[in-house]
């Protein structure tokens, strides 16, 4: 099996699974319990929070655990936007980049029903946020700007440093960055001090499903996401998923340790893939601005789903768009925002690599490529 769908989910590291199992067995007590077992579980939770904070270079009390990246993004655009608005009732503008994950874009209608003005910041032909347009769209009424660090469908790395510079004149603006796809090779981008809110998802970096992370800086007002027992500083009540949280901290540390080596190796793999695809007549998106671990390519007029299953029959697993949208047969949202015509975007597939991708995986894909490509000649 050749797995090239790591942007959908990654295979947990063996040591991450081992850690989760150990914690589940030895530290099964509720971290909120007052007895010794609860205290031990609470100490482990605190340690995991501190480890993640150290890696991201934020304070431990600015790290909140959720059940997923989607949940963290919903918290940002609901409880946090509402709290920001309550303190500045004359401000009701929310800006989202046009290529955000559905976890953000699908909340636009809800925001508008609440009375917020929501505008999409366009991207250029490579999928990068149009910083000139962003500059034009900013004013003193903007509550929150949400951008990605690395796009999930095309892999374009967003110009976070330039964005930080542009919004420097708007200190009231709260900046949220969806960093879910950035951990594999672009972790350093997430340490930008201007970022107020940051979303991560553990299963995207070889952790377990069921854990998201929201970094919320002290200055950011918020209403609780979930009400109940008061966990997560009263902001997200629910008994913490301690085994998966501790395993997530370990996975993030392993990703941080492997970052430099992963970037170098995956860059080499991406060059091999892009060269082979271009020589075979495929169209590549994102250009030089793309993260080393994602390749988005199309072979029109063959539908992406047909290409996906052609590779699957040879034991190679790729995806058409994001995993969240692939079964709904929705248009390729990012390519549409890049103004790629639908007859080309409908043919797009995504290859996504990770630290576990090997040269043998890349070689196998390249060897399978001619057989899939010849489908075009057969009409």
Domain boundaries, given as residue ranges, for the chain: 2-8+258-377, 14-254
Collapsed DSSP state (helix, strand, coil) of residue 137: helix
SS3 label, residue 17: helix
- Enter the DSSP assignment of 58: S
Q: Which two tokens stand for residue 315?
A: 């034991």
DSSP characters over 142-209: EEEEEEESB-SSS-BBP-HHHHHHHGGG-TT-EEEEE-TTTTTT-GGGGG-TT--EEEEEGGGTTS-T
Point out the residues that are catalytic.
324
Q: How many CB atoms lie within 10 A of CB 301?
A: 11
Q: Are 131 and 166 in contact (CB under 8 A)?
A: yes
Question: Collapsing DSSP states into helix, strand and coil, what is residue 314?
Answer: coil
pLDDT given at position 127: 96
Is the separation of the CB atoms in 297 and 349 below 8 Å? yes
Contact criterion met (CB below 8 Å) for 246 and 48: yes
Assigned token pair, 185: 């090779």
The neighbour count for residue 319, using CB atoms within 10 Å, is 22
Q: Which residues pair with 64 in a beta bridge?
A: 214
| Separation between Cα atoms, residue 80 and residue 197, nearest integer Å | 10
Contact between 211 and 20 under an 8 Å Cβ cutoff? The reply is no
* Angle, CA of 214, 219 and 223, to the nearest 5°: 60
Q: Which residues contact 217 (CB under 8 A, 6 or more apart)?
A: 58, 62, 195, 196, 197
Separation of alpha carbons 203 and 374, rounded Å:
35
Backbone phi and psi for residue 63, each to the nearest 5 degrees, phi listed first: -105, 125
Fold classification of 14-254 (topology level): 3.40.640
pLDDT of residue 75: 97
92, 95, 122, 159 from 138: Cα distances, Å: 12, 9, 13, 17
Work out whether strand 142-148 and strand 174-178 pair parallel, antiparallel, or are unpaired. parallel
Q: What is the pLDDT of residue 35?
A: 96
**H or E element that contains 340:** none
Convert 12-46 to b/e letters by CB count within 10 Å (16 or more is b): bbeebbebbeebeeebebbbeeeeeeeeebbebbe
- For residue 285, the SS3 value is strand
**CA 159 to the chain's CA centroid:** 15
pLDDT at position 332 is 84
Residue 216 neighbours by CB distance under 10 Å: 24
Q: Which CATH class name applies to 2-8+258-377?
A: alpha beta
Nearest of 197, 108, 123, 116 to residue 157 by alpha carbon = 123
Report how far residue 373's alpha carbon sits from residue 376's, in angstroms, rounded to the nearest whole number. Answer: 6
Phi and psi angles of residue 146, each rounded to the nearest 5 degrees, phi first: -120, 125
Give pLDDT tens digits along the chain (379 positions).
Answer: 999 999 999 999 999 999 999 999 999 999 999 999 999 999 999 999 999 999 999 999 999 999 999 999 999 999 999 999 999 999 999 999 999 999 999 999 999 999 999 999 999 999 999 999 999 999 999 999 999 999 999 999 999 999 999 999 999 999 999 999 999 999 999 999 999 999 999 999 999 999 999 999 999 999 999 999 999 999 999 999 999 999 999 999 999 999 999 999 999 999 999 999 999 999 999 988 999 999 999 999 999 999 999 999 999 999 996 555 555 556 688 999 999 999 999 999 999 999 999 999 999 999 999 999 998 776 5
């Amino acid at each position: 099996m050749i797995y090239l769908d790591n942007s959908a989910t990654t295979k947990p590291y063996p040591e991450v699974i081992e850690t989760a199992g150990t914690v589940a067995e030895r530290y099964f007590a509720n971290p909120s319990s007052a007895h010794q077992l609860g205290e031990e579980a609470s100490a482990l939770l605190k340690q995991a929070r501190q480890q993640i904070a150290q890696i991201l270079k934020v304070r431990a009390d600015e790290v909140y655990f959720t059940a997923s990246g989607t949940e963290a993004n919903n918290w940002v655009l609901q409880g946090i936007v509402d709290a920001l608005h309550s303190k500045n009732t004359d401000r009701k503008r929310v800006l989202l980049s046009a290529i955000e994950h559905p976890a953000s874009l699908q909340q636009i209608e809800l925001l508008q029903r609440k009375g917020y003005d929501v505008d999409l910041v366009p991207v250029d032909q490579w999928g990068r946020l149009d910083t000139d347009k962003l500059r034009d769209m900013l004013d003193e009424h903007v509550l929150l700007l949400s951008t990605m660090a690395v796009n999930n469908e095309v892999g374009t790395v967003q110009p976070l440093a330039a964005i930080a510079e542009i919004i420097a004149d708007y200190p009231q603006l709260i900046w949220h960055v969806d960093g879910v796809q950035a951990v594999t090779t672009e972790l350093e981008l997430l340490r930008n001090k201007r970022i107020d809110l940051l979303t991560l998802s553990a299963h995207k970096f070889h952790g377990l499903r069921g854990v998201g992370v929201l970094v919320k800086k002290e200055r950011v007002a918020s209403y609780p996401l979930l009400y109940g027992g008061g966990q997560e500083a009263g902001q997200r009540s629910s008994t913490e998923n301690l085994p998966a949280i501790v395993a997530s901290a370990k996975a993030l540390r392993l990703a941080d340790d492997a970052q430099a080596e992963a970037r170098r190796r995956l860059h080499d793999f991406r060059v091999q893939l892009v060269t082979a695809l271009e020589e075979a007549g495929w169209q590549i998106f994102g250009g030089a601005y793309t993260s080393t671990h994602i390749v988005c390519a199309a072979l029109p007029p063959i539908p992406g789903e047909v290409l996906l299953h052609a590779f699957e029959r040879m034991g190679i697993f790729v995806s058409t768009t994001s995993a969240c949208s692939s079964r709904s047969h929705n248009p390729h949202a990012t390519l549409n925002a890049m103004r790629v015509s639908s007859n080309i975007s409908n043919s797009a597939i995504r290859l996504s690599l990770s630290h576990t991708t090997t040269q043998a995986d890349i070689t196998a894909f390249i060897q399978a490529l001619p057989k899939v490509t010849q489908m075009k000649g057969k009409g």
